[in-house]
Amino acid sequence: MLGSLVRRPVYFNETMEQMYLIGVGSLFLVVLTGAFSGQGFALAFSQELAAFGAKDYLGRIMSMAIVRELGPTLTGLMVAARVASGITAEIGAMKSSNQIDAMVAFGIDPIKKIARARLISLMVMVPALTIVCDVVAILGGWIIGLFIANVTSTMYWSAVIYKLNFGNIFMGLLKPICFSFVIAFISCYMGFTSKGGTKGVGRATTNSVMMTSITILIVNFLITKIVGSILKGYL
Amino acid sequence: MIELKGVDFSYWDKQVLKDVSFKVNDSELVVVMGPSGSGKSTVLRLILGLECPSAGQVIVEGQDICVMKERDKRVIRKRIGMVFQDGALFDSLTVGENVGYYLLEHTRLKWPEISQKAGEMLGFVGLNPEEVGDKLPEELSGGMRRRVAIGRALLSTNPRAMLYDEPTTGLDPTATKNVLSLITKLHQEKGIASVIVTHQIADALEIADRFVVIYAGHVVFDGSLEELRVCEDERVVGFLEPFRKSFERVAAKNFVNGL
């Protein structure tokens, strides 16, 4: 699949259609997730910080935790739940009704045609959705800070910007790119290898979501650990 | 054109084909018959290189398809039209897009030109392009879907051989007649080699030049209608017994036509 990324044909229309389905289709879900997670996180932390007289640090914590950890992970999990199941089910249904074989019979490589379009779309849309999730979550934290925790806007935003350094932004964008590989690879693999008719497609879909979600959490930990130690001076 | 030489094939631990050998010459229409589960459809998958045998060779246009690189297989596949069981139409595309699929994927033609060619092909297979062109496959009857699949295979490859997997299974008598007459018309007008896999014996008798009977993974008969009629192999006799009347009818019809 990786090798096919750079080979012709490009399947531009298919890729654009997938970008729309993945990006626009997941937008509402990601905005909701970001808004409620950001507010909940800010609410919990503002109370703890207030006990130590450190509520002005809310922006720093929000910025670091959301951009580096929560934003990418929550977006990855939401997209995995919504998109991985769809990709596996679609490919599995195509396989069980011989449509994949029909493609091969017409001299078309189904990996290029189906998997590559989805991989490229995910690589573009998951980071974009992560940025949206980050922005909404940090805005949610600002609302909590302003109306409940009594943190001034100036203090909150200056703290947020202070922690938006190279290391956090790099890690916050590297993670969704890795997650898009995880989602595309597992969901396509599960679809192409599904067998046993409709029951088999259902089983493959469930396994796809489960494996994608677990792998995202493991990859998230590994990136935090490995990249975190490499970029220690930049975080 | 196509030759299977001593082919063995297994799905995991279940052996489906054992030492299967037969040949399909240019412009010949061969019907592969046998009970359900005897490995007939696997033969077509082997010819297309979708599967490879555990022993033996599948020769297509003088080359063993299983030792070819995927890129070379694609070139061979472009010269073979395949009509899958139930059509295997792309359910997210319209009928017109399905028929013009190969041109959409492999040529730089603009959609209006492809649409026109797809319309002509739909007309060739006996469908009204204005009526069905913009419909989705699920809106068509089984017989219409089968005809769209034939049209898609023809327009896509300009084939030198056509493979049909159970083309009349599940169709009513009128649709069966239409599909069979289309296959015969194609065979006669374009002179392409055809392999039809079916267990609908009565249909097969009407159109084939040669018959291959597969029973429990073995080729138990390979010959003409007359040879099939007098074959004494008990597996062939047992399999064909329910269709004896159809045999006599077709033999009589052929005799009259030959006068």
pLDDT tens-digit profile of B127-138?
899 999 999 999
Task: Test B82 with A102 for CB contact under 8 angstroms.
Answer: yes
Q: Binning pLDDT at 50, 70 and 90, where does residue B156 land?
A: low
- Name the closest residue on chain A to residue B163, using Cα atoms: A105
- Tallying the residues shown for chain B, one arrives at 259
Q: What's the confidence (pLDDT) of residue B254?
A: 64
CA distance B244 to chain A (A): 34
CB contact under 8 A, A104 and B101: no
SS3 state of residue B220: strand
Q: What is the pLDDT of residue B40?
A: 86
Residue numbers in B near A95 (CB within 8 A): none
Does the beta carbon of B84 lie under 8 angstroms from any beta carbon of chain A? yes
Are A106 and B85 inside 8 Å of each other by CB? no
Q: What is the pLDDT of residue B108?
A: 84
Task: Give the pLDDT band (50/70/90) at residue B238.
Answer: confident
Residues in chain A: 235
Mean pLDDT of B50-56: 90
Q: Is the ipTM of this complex over 0.85?
A: no
Inform me whether the pLDDT recorded for B126 exceeds 60. Answer: yes
Residue of chain A nearest B101, judged by CA positions:
A106
pLDDT, averaged across chain B = 85
Q: Do A102 and B77 touch (CB under 8 A)?
A: no
Interacting residues of A18 by C-beta distance below 8 A, sequence separation 6+: A117, A118, A120, A121
Helix, strand, or coil here: B104? helix
Q: State whether residue B215 sits within 8 Å of chain A by CB.
A: no
C-beta separation of A186 from A215 below 8 A: yes
Measure CB to CB from residue B84 to each of A9, A98, A107 and give the nearest one: A98
Identify the helix (H) or strand (E) that includes residue B218. Answer: strand B218-223
Residue B196 β-bridge partners: B31, B164
Q: Please give the Cα distance from B124 to B163 (Å, whole number).
A: 18
Contact yes or no for A101 and B84 at CB 8 A? yes
d(C-alpha A228, C-alpha A40), whole Å = 26
When CB atoms are compared, the residue of B50, B91, B105 closest to A101 is B50
Min distance B158 CA to chain A CA atoms (Å):
11
Determine contact, residues B57/B46, Cβ cutoff 8 Å.
no
Mind listing the pLDDT tens digit for each residue in A182-233? 999 999 999 999 988 889 999 999 999 999 999 999 999 999 999 989 888 7
Q: How confident is the model at residue B186 (pLDDT cuts 50, 70, 90)?
A: confident
**Per-residue pLDDT, B146:** 87
- pLDDT tens digit sequence for B80-115: 888 888 889 998 889 999 999 888 888 888 889 999
Chains A, B: CB contacts under 8 A, how many?
47
**How close is the nearest chain B Cα to the Cα of A111, in Å?**
13
Enumerate residue ranges in chain A where pLDDT < 50: none
Residue contact B86–A105, C-beta within 8 A: no
Query: How far apart (Å, rounded) are the C-alpha atoms in residues B45 and B208?
Result: 20
Q: Answer whether A233 touches B (CB < 8 Å).
A: no
Average pLDDT over residues B15-38: 88
Q: Which among B77, B85, B90 has the least Cβ separation from residue A105?
A: B77
Rounded to a whole number, what is the distance in Å from the CA of B89 to chain A's nearest CA?
A: 7
Q: Which of B71, B74, B136 to mutate to test the interface with A (most CBs of A within 10 A)?
A: B74
Which among A102, A107, A108 has the least Cβ separation from residue B88?
A102
**pLDDT band (50, 70, 90) for residue B247:** low
| B120 has a chain A CB within 8 A of its CB | no
Residue A18: CA atoms inside 13 Å, Cβ hemisphere, count?
Answer: 26
B218-229 pLDDT, tens digit each: 899 998 888 888
B50–chain A Cβ distance below 8 A for any pair: yes
Question: What's the pLDDT score for residue A205?
Answer: 95
Q: Is A107 on the interface with B (CB under 8 A)?
A: yes
Residues B94, A122: Cα–Cα separation, whole Å: 26
Any chain B CB within 8 A of the CB of A218? no
Which residues share a beta bridge with B212?
B32, B222
Is A52's Cβ below 8 Å from some Cβ in B? no
Nearest Cβ partner for A98 among B74, B78, B88? B88
Q: How many CB atoms lie within 10 A of CB B8?
A: 15
Among A126-130, A209-213, B24-28, B182-186, which stretch is predicted with the lowest mean pLDDT? B182-186
The residue of chain A with its CA nearest to that of B85 is A98
Closest CB to B90 among A9, A99, A104: A99
Question: Taking the domains of chain A in order of start, what are their residue ranges?
Answer: 3-228
Q: What is the pLDDT of residue A36?
A: 95
Percent of chain B having pLDDT more than 70? Answer: 93
Contact B150, B186 (CB under 8 A): yes
Where helices occur in chain B by DSSP H, the ranges are 40-47, 70-77, 95-99, 101-106, 111-124, 129-132, 142-157, 173-190, 201-207, 225-230, 234-240, 244-258
